[in-house]
Amino acid sequence: MLPGVVGLVQATEAVKLLLGIGEPLVGRLLTYDALGMRFREVKLRRDPKCPLCGTSPTIKDLSIHVDGGAACAIG
């Protein structure tokens, strides 16, 4: 049942984004605890040191993914 809840949060966000309505979960992480039945929200910030979208990115193409899973070596 858990995937249904999370999947439908994703589907709802998808429709909102397509229609340009409401407040999408941008910069917010919604967490769901099924046993406690609690939703929580964590604010997310862009990391200026992010290797992909930071101020001086080191990932500029997908070459790190070329030997399947090498991406996981990126710190």
Partner 1 sequence: MWGNHYSPDRKWGNILTMKTLKEMLAEARRVVPEEGPADLERRLKSGDKVVVIDVRDPDEFRDGHIEAANNISRGFLEFRIGTAVTDPNTPIVLYCQTGLRSVLAAKALRELGYTTVINLQGGYQKWVQSGLPVVREVPMTPDQIQRYSRHFLLAQVGDKGQRRLLRSKVLLIGAGGLGSPIGLYLAAAGVGTLGLMDGDVVDITNLQRQVLHTTADIGKAKVESGTRTIKAINPDVNVIALPMRITVDNVMDVITDYDLIVDGSDNFETRYLVNDACYLAGKTNVHGSIFQFEGMATVFVPNEGPCYRCLYPTPPPPGLVPS
Bridge partner residues of 28 (DSSP): 43
Nearer to partner 1, 19 or 56 (CB): 19
Site residues (CB under 8 A) for partner 1, limited to 33-62? 33-35, 44-47, 49-54, 59-62
CB of 48 to partner 1, least distance (A): 9
Question: What are the structure tokens assigned to 29, written together?
Answer: 């992480």
Query: Which has the closest alpha carbon to 30: 18, 20, 38, 21?
Result: 38
- For residues 64 and 5, what is the distance between their CA atoms, to the nearest angstrom? 33
* Residue numbers at the binding site for partner 1 (CB under 8 A): 1-11, 13-15, 17-19, 21-22, 24-35, 44-47, 49-54, 59-62, 64-66, 68-69, 71-72, 74-75
